[in-house]
Structure 1
Amino acid sequence: IDKNVSFQLQSILPLLSQLNSFHLLDSNDIHLTHPFSSNLQILTIPTIVSLSKTSSITNLTISGCSLDQLSYYIFKHLPLLTCLDIKHCSSYYSQVGIRFDDERSKAVHLKQLMIFNFEYGFEYFKNFAKQIPKLTTLQLCATSLDMMNAHQWKQLILSSLSYLTDFKFIFYYQFQTHTVELNTQLNEFQNEFWTEQHHWYTEYSLSTCSATIYTIPYMVDSYQLEYESNRYGNQLINTFDK
């Protein structure tokens, strides 16, 4: 954005007292240092650099952030947040070392969370989940092998995400060679807890170099079919009705 335009926009924003929604895309040149209207509820920003204390926000979309920014900044300054959409969650955006302790702010109003590129392991998400106790909808894409453990997900849901009713995910992992144990491990996502208790149906694919497991219906628009791969669907669903 041109510097003059940036300056003008920052000058105008505080004057828009009835502003309800603001979307800033692909630019960190504008720093939202002035308080927004108390009516502002919907905000889209590229990174945390563009965010000031806007406590009235209920819906936030952010292109990139880290877990420590969520734990110690976003949840602290946006206590009314109900819906959070993150395109890329990675330590790349971290400003301080990740510290998980009892001082983290809880997002007690957060109901919907979407993270489409989660670059942490399961243990990090497990600790993070303690901050979102009332979550009802979770959409998650990750590329860590430890995300593909149905038992630890079950324990997490029972202990920290008891309100969760809508869970969609895509977990992908590349490897040298896979074993029979991996097939058995992925099949655990199709047991009674997932299908009968929660009606979360999955399909998984194994190739010579990768494994993918995802909920049905598939949550994104594109699907990459790996060479020499086998798909294993849930017997309770019709694959052709996805």
Structure 2
Amino acid sequence: MSKLRTLTVTDSYQHLELIDQISSITNLTIPNCNFHPLQRILKTVTMLKYINCSNLLQHQMSSNNSIEFEEDYQGIHLKQLIILEFQGTFSDLQMFIKHIPNFKKIIISADYERKIIDAYH
């Protein structure tokens, strides 16, 4: 599996250990995820260039109702992120993207999260 480049999983929580062991992946499609496992994936699968996440959920909240972000992950190769249903705030997304220095393209849908639109940012 060391030459595997593209992976589609049916459940990110069940397959997180498998994903962590395949560092050669460059394209990953996952159905449901929250920020914590996504940070873990970026930390261990460092060659990722493309992530397609059907639902990005806002679990792992702190007492001030914001997401707890780890500081030690970098998606240095990640260029494209597709989120078909984002369930978080603009500041959550902004904090996540700060750790992706070579980011080029994002496609995001947030039907039920109108607060994602912030004209001041």
TM above 0.5, yes or no, is yes
Match of 2:15 in 1: 50
- For the 8 Å contact 2:90–2:118, the answer to whether it is kept is no
The aligned residue for residue 47 of structure 2 is 80
Which position in structure 2 is the counterpart of 1:123? 91
Structure 1 151/91 Cα, relative in aligned 2: closer, same or farther at 3 Å?
closer
Corresponding position of 1:3: none
Structure 2: which 5+ residue stretches go unaligned? Answer: none
Letter in 1 for 2:7: L
1:101–1:45 distance in 2 versus 1, CA, 3 Å: closer
Structure 1 counterpart of 2:3, one-letter code: N
**Counterpart position of 1:62:** 30
Per-residue deviation at 1:138? Answer: 0.7
Alpha-carbon distance between aligned partners in 2 of 1:144 and 1:121, rounded to the nearest angstrom: 7
CA distance in 2, matches of 1:135, 1:77: 18
Give the aligned partner of residue 56 of structure 2.
Answer: 89
Q: Which runs of 4+ in 1 moved over 6 A?
A: none
Percent identity among equivalent residues? 30
Larger Rg: 1
Question: For 1:221-240, what aligned pairs fall within 5 Å after superposition?
Answer: none
Once residues 101 and 78 of structure 1 are traced to their aligned partners in structure 2, the CA distance between those partners, rounded to angstroms, is 16
Q: Give the number of equivalent residue pairs.
A: 112
Read off the aligned partner of 2:24 and give its amino acid letter: S
Partner of 2:3: 39
TM-score w.r.t. the length of structure 1 is 0.43
Looking at secondary structure, tell me which structure has more helix per residue. Answer: 1
Please, what TM-score do these two structures have when normalized by structure 2? 0.83
8 Å CA contact retained: 2:86, 2:109: yes
CA spacing shift, 1:39–1:101, aligned 2, 3 Å: closer
The answer to whether structure 1 residue 147 and structure 2 residue 111 are counterparts is no
Secondary structure at the counterpart of residue 109 of structure 2: strand
